[in-house]
């Protein structure tokens, strides 16, 4: 693969990203900067300081001017007073913060208390580089720091926001996740202040649905989606094969369609025969716009890794991210999901404790301890037992 050249730091006044990193991580960070620049993101990094100026003052000014503060976390970052000062200053200014972990590092207690609730991407867990960039670009914060949408998307945005006749129910199809993120941001920024707009991904929708069922709050859940002036649903195609969820989303879309409520579906590809007939027929009623600036991504032809499938299912069922399960978080819901993953992988694959530990970045003794903890929670916590049972049954069925 040809190495991308890093361009000069952004020097304008438009929304842009401040890149914070330790210089000893330079070899890992510069390729990410180069890729983001290539993909149209405005980024500033410390090569942009004018010679002969005061370092601290310049850094402070650029942190103040940035829209998004993106920190590359590694042991070198934690060891650097300058890096920690940059991060603390960005927090004090209440900047949009996004952390990218280059390593599985243990944060000092005080820092962990402040940072554990921030959005984070654990880059070291991604074997597929494109999957990492898709995750990064799907975050709402960086999208505002990318170049303007093409004219055709600007017009589509205006027609949708203004509820032009025929644009109350729209589906945008594009394989390019940059386009989807950029269009979503364009729409959100164009809506009048105070507009009741619900913007959610398929994954978030499923998690909310599960929680509403568990807590007996289905009526409030439905009211939220039925009553919103605008509904934006992303990655709709990821509901493939989820029959119960499809029934609920069909009910919501049907109600909104007949009530002429404005709805937008942002999809990477058309829905297929894994969707029920009623939902498929309803989606065909949407005004569908296809953007094909890039060649279509071919369908996956290799078999699915059982470990990754279990990890993805656990993320959906427990309402946590895959990165959190693979990371170092000690939050209760993350620990529960991690225990359930280990137990399910042990039950439906031939992986040894050492092999499971290798996939999770943990030693075999920790994996064994998690299995013991799983047995305890499976007896004492009914809610956990139900979700862990769903995870196991779902994957036993797929393996058979």
- Across residues 232-238, what is the average pLDDT? 85
Q: Each residue of 158-190: pLDDT tens digit?
A: 888 888 877 888 888 877 777 787 788 888 888
75-98: pLDDT as tens digits: 999 998 889 899 999 989 988 889
107-135: average pLDDT:
81
Those residues whose C-beta lies under 8 Å from the C-beta of residue 214, and which sit 6 or more positions away, are 383
Q: For the chain, list the domains and their CATH numbers.
A: 17-143 (3.40.50.10140), 151-290 (3.40.50.300), 306-393 (1.10.1750.10)
3-state DSSP assignment of residue 319 = coil
Q: Would you state the pLDDT for residue 326?
A: 87
For the CA atoms of 350, 130, 36, 147, the dihedral, rounded to the nearest 10 degrees, stands at: -130
What mean pLDDT is reported for the chain? Answer: 83
**How many beta carbons lie within 10 A of that of residue 196, not counting itself?**
11
pTM: 0.45
pLDDT tens for 366-397 read: 898 999 899 888 888 887 888 888 888 877 75
Model confidence over 273-322: pLDDT tens digits? Answer: 788 888 888 888 888 887 755 433 333 333 457 888 898 888 888 888 88
Confidence of residue 270 (pLDDT cuts 50, 70, 90): confident
Instruction: Report how far residue 261's alpha carbon sits from residue 253's, in angstroms, rounded to the nearest whole number.
Output: 9
């Amino acid at each position: 693969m040809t190495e991308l050249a890093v361009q000069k730091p952004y020097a304008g006044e438009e929304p842009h990203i401040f890149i914070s990193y330790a210089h000893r991580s330079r070899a890992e960070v510069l390729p990410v900067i180069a890729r983001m620049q290539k993909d149209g993101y405005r980024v500033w990094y410390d090569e942009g300081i004018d010679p002969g100026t005061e370092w601290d003052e310049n850094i402070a000014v650029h942190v103040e001017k940035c829209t998004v503060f993106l920190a590359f976390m590694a042991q070198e970052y934690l060891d650097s007073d300058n890096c920690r000062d940059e991060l603390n200053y960005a927090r004090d200014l209440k900047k949009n913060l996004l952390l990218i972990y280059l390593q599985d590092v243990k944060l000092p207690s005080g820092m962990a208390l402040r940072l554990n609730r921030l959005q984070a991407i654990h880059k070291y867990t991604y074997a597929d580089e494109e999957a990492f960039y898709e995750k990064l670009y799907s975050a709402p914060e960086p999208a505002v720091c990318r170049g303007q949408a093409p004219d055709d998307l600007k017009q589509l945005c205006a027609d949708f926001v203004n509820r032009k006749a025929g644009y109350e129910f729209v589906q945008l199809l594009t394989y390019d996740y940059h386009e989807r993120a950029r269009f979503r941001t364009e729409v959100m920024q164009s809506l009048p202040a105070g507009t009741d707009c619900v913007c959610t991904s398929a994954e978030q929708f499923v998690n909310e649905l599960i929680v509403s069922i568990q807590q007996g709050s289905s009526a409030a859940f439905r009211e939220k989606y039925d009553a919103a002036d605008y509904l934006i649903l992303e990655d709709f195609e990821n509901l493939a094969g989820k029959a119960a969820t499809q029934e609920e989303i069909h009910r919501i879309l049907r109600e909104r369609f007949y009530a002429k409520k404005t709805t937008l579906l942002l999809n990477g590809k058309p829905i297929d025969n894994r969707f029920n007939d009623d939902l498929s027929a309803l989606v065909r009623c949407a005004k569908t716009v296809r953007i094909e600036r890039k060649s279509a991504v071919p369908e996956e032809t290799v078999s699915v890794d059982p470990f990754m499938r279990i990890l993805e299912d656990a993320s959906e069922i427990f309402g946590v991210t895959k990165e959190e399960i693979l990371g170092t978080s000690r939050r209760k819901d993350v620990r529960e999901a991690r225990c359930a993953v280990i137990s399910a992988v042990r039950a439906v694959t031939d992986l040894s404790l050492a092999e499971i530990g290798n996939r999770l970045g943990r030693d075999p003794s920790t994996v064994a301890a998690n299995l013991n903890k799983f047995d305890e929670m499976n007896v004492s916590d009914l809610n956990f037992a139900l979700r862990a049972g769903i995870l196991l049954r779902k994957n036993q069925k797929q393996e058979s």
